[in-house]
Structure 1
């Protein structure tokens, strides 16, 4: 995920304030204005004089930029760069910064070699596109491949510690977190966006399941629900598989009655099976293939819900949340 920087040259306090409110990671300003910029918000502040822009007009420019990067210098590839030279630099440096004056160029920079440049620098002339650039290049995380899975078992299992993940964001109908007993088979657990006569909606919350369960994070990582902490970034997905990053504001772990829910998804090599433990309450919901939230207390064998299932040939192993090519079975 690329970081977003705003190059506010010439200095414009109103534009800089807009950038900071949009969620940029840092700003580039004339050295004489650095102290004032730093007083507006806690973020990276770079002097423009120490962050030169480099045009890639020839192979020699690419080689010169690489030499400067290897020497530890901070340089920005000026607007007009082409993909191939940037790929060459990315293959040899993790510190490539590229200027993008519009959303299309920013998205291109964020996707080069499937990891993107280290930072996207947005000039002051593109201040009006900053919110869209941040949303698409910093918060959006592509798509998860969600598939229908058929419920095969719903059973009460007594008490357990469950985790409520309260985010800094208001989630929408159809959105939730991907949680499961196995990192290779996760269920889309719906946010508490729905009203009923007993409990008010809490659209910032996902009552996500038991402490031992896996939850998907950005960048194809996982962690246990019981290890989530305030300030941590987690992945939110919707029924179409579109994802974004949200930040946790609070994690509540309490003892509650639980349900064991098992499901299976069709696969060319045979059914894939997974399970999740969720609180036994009407307000906890999964998501149907049509995008509708469905309460866990109404589920029956044969019902379908949305799940994410790893490719059987891709290896389901995880080590400290990172995917590893290892034969691991979790039941």
Structure 2
């Protein structure tokens, strides 16, 4: 994940407070102001001297940046950088940072050569957009390709331990987590954003499924639902395929009556998931609408993600694996 630093030079208490509230990774201030920042909140505080600034004006400046990076220095390209020179540097070394003065610049820098720079130094003039910069750079995780699957069975499955994932975020309609019996076939399980006459909405919660199930995680990894604990980051997926990150606040494992739901893609690929038998647990239709598992019927369509099978400790591997 990319680091975001805010440069509060000259020192401005209001801007430092804004940066802390925005969730930046650290703040850059004059050496004499470090203690003032530490008194406002717990964060990383450094002085400008701890970075190596490089202004790209000629080819020699690219070489200086690469050489400094290879020497282990924290290199920052100052205002005025252009894409091609940055690409040249990124192709030769890691650890590069750039100054940005707007959200557009931040998004551009984050996407150069797909990987982007490793960290951003946000200048004071970008303060009005700082919260958007942090949320879009830190939380956004790109897109996943969702497909439409047809439900082939909905069966009672007795009692089982299911996992409620309570996050630190307020999720929206159409959002949830990708969960399934197999890492190669996961269902978009909707967050509890909907209310009914009997139960209030819990938009921070995804009643995600049985303890053994796989959940798709940030960084193209998976985790068993039973392994999700406070402080871990999980992947939140929207019906349009856009993704973001949420932090687990609490994981609740309880015995509940379960349903086994099976579905099939047009190409014949099949998958399954165990979910609690309750009205508040929902999958997502191709239109992005939540559909309760108690109303789910054979022939209904839901959103899923198909992938190649094969994971070892949550990491993708190449191996012949069949998960039923």
TM bucket normalised to smaller = over 0.9
Spell out structure 1 runs of 4+ moving beyond 6 A.
Answer: none
2:313 is aligned to 320
1:51 is aligned to 51
1:295 is aligned to 292
Q: Give me the whole-angstrom Cα distance separating, in 2, the residues matched to 1:326 and 1:63.
A: 42
- CA deviation profile, 1:267-314 (whole Å, cap 9, x unmatched): xxx32111111011111000111111111011111000111112xxxx
1:197 is aligned to 197
2:304 is aligned to 307
Aligned positions of 1:1-331 closer than 5 A: 1-266=1-266, 270-310=267-307, 315-331=308-324
Secondary structure of the residue aligned to 1:298 is coil
Secondary structure of the residue aligned to 2:138 is helix
Q: Give the root-mean-square deviation of aligned CA atoms.
A: 1.3
Secondary structure of the residue aligned to 1:289 is coil
In structure 2, the CA distance between the partners of 1:160 and 1:142, relative to structure 1 (3 Å rule), is same
Q: Is there any run of 5+ residues in structure 2 with no aligned partner, and where?
A: none
Secondary structure of the residue aligned to 1:150 is strand
Number of residues of Structure 1 aligned to a counterpart in Structure 2: 324
Q: TM-score, structure 2 length as denominator? A: 0.97
Q: Give me the whole-angstrom Cα distance separating, in 2, the residues matched to 1:115 and 1:252.
A: 35
Secondary structure of the residue aligned to 2:84 is helix
Secondary structure of the residue aligned to 2:219 is coil
Q: TM-score, structure 1 length as denominator? A: 0.95
